[in-house]
Amino acid sequence: MTVPAGALAIDVSVIIINYKSVDFLRLALTSLKENASKYCGETIVVDNASGDRCGEMLRAEFPAIHFIPSLENLGFAGGNNLAVAHATGRYLLFLNPDTEVRGNSVDRMISFLDKHPTTGIVGPMLLNGDNSVQTSCIRAFPTILSEVVDSDLLRKRFPGWSLWGSAPLWRSKGQPTPVDAVSGASLMIRKDTFESIGMFSTSYFMYAEDVDLCYRAHQKGWGVYFIPEATVVHFGGQSSGAAEDRHFADVLLRESRFLFFRKHRGRFYSFAYRLSTAVSALSRMALLRLALVLRPKPSLHQALSKWSRIWRWCLGMEQWAKKVR
């Protein structure tokens, strides 16, 4: 998506933050080009010091794109905020590099915002690589209960449970639906709304930035809508590079949730979250150790390792999670 010659106004600025994802970035940009919007747009790519020669690829294959190299990894929030300083569109579309936009999805989101002036944020239906629905594309605001009981098993057994906030995926009947939050993997917001509510919070390095943004939009009276007729494939977990630490994401996710609770619900609530997570981790570790005695399996060893690291975080033994903020 590039700006037509002589254009006077930009409708949408597509912003992509790259970190060691140059091959996926190429696919994302190709999908935008193949599904060009009828609206006037620009695309901005920030490279978070990934060292994957992203700039060389863009200059050779997508020379019209505005490329911003960062000398340090600013994280999701910092990278996007940097890009917005260069954006001129009425709307901002934050897009992960490991995505593919389908059809006229960008146009559908722009059109909805044009017709609904009290709506500040919209998000599309996210699909996995096999075209199955990615249930994390819409979310309820987190609570201690939703975090403690969260598990793949319960999500599969009770997909419409209000704790997850994903019921509109099956009950919207293809119609735009108000939700708590949409995923930052593909999120469109009015630029003036984004700036007035304080942009992405750089308190978070990864995770919770999108939920935090939607929460603040709601506080200011802006609607947040899920647009099921707009579809984006999100391959998931491909845009952060290959982490040496297997449980980096597991720990950082809890740190981000803790920060969200402390910021919006107070220190007592955030302490209660850490305590409840510790109890949950201990319980799961005990069950996993018993299961390993009865039936040793690599997947059980991995799960035990995960919850052991989360237990360490609860005790304050994963200090690096605070330093990456």
pLDDT for the residue 211? 97
Q: Considering the chain, what percentage of its residues have pLDDT values greater than 70?
A: 94
pLDDT for the residue 161? 79
pLDDT for the residue 86? 96
Tell me: the pLDDT tens digits for 210-254? 999 999 999 999 999 999 999 999 997 554 444 445 688 899 999
- Angle, alpha carbons 267-271-277 (nearest 5°): 145
Looking at residues 301-320, what average pLDDT do you find?
92
User: Over the chain, what is the mean pLDDT?
Assistant: 91
Q: Taking 80 as the threshold, does the pLDDT of residue 271 lie above it?
A: yes
Tell me: the pLDDT tens digits for 167-182? 888 887 889 999 999 9
pLDDT for the residue 241? 44
Tell me: the pLDDT tens digits for 68-84? 999 999 989 999 999 99
- Amino acid of residue 174: G
pLDDT for the residue 1? 56
pLDDT for the residue 160? 75
Q: What residues contact 189, with CB distance under 8 A and at least 6 apart?
A: 91, 92, 94, 120, 121, 122, 213, 217
- 259 pLDDT band, cuts 50/70/90, is very high
| Full-model pTM | 0.90
Q: Which residue's entry shows tokens 């999908």?
A: 31
Residue 157 has what DSSP assignment? Answer: H
Provide the pairing of β-strand 177-178 with 41-48.
Answer: unpaired
pLDDT for the residue 270? 97
Q: Considering the chain, what percentage of its residues have pLDDT values greater than 90?
A: 77
CB under 8 A, 24+ apart: contacts of 64-72: 64/2, 64/3, 65/2, 65/29, 66/42, 68/44, 70/46, 72/48
- 45 pLDDT band, cuts 50/70/90, is very high
Provide the pairing of β-strand 223-234 with 119-127.
Answer: parallel
- 15 pLDDT band, cuts 50/70/90, is very high
For residue 252, the tally of other CB atoms under 10 A from its CB is: 24
Q: Lowest-confidence range among 161-170, 197-206, 215-224?
A: 161-170
φ, ψ (nearest 5 deg) of residue 69: -85, 135
pLDDT for the residue 173? 82
What distance, in Å, lies between the first and last C-alpha atoms of the chain? 32
- Region at 173 (left for phi over 0; alpha for psi -120 to 50; beta for the rest): left
Contact assessment for residue 131 and residue 250, using Cβ atoms and an 8 Å cutoff: no
Tell me: the pLDDT tens digits for 96-143? 999 999 999 999 999 999 999 999 999 999 999 999 999 889 999 999
pLDDT for the residue 265? 96
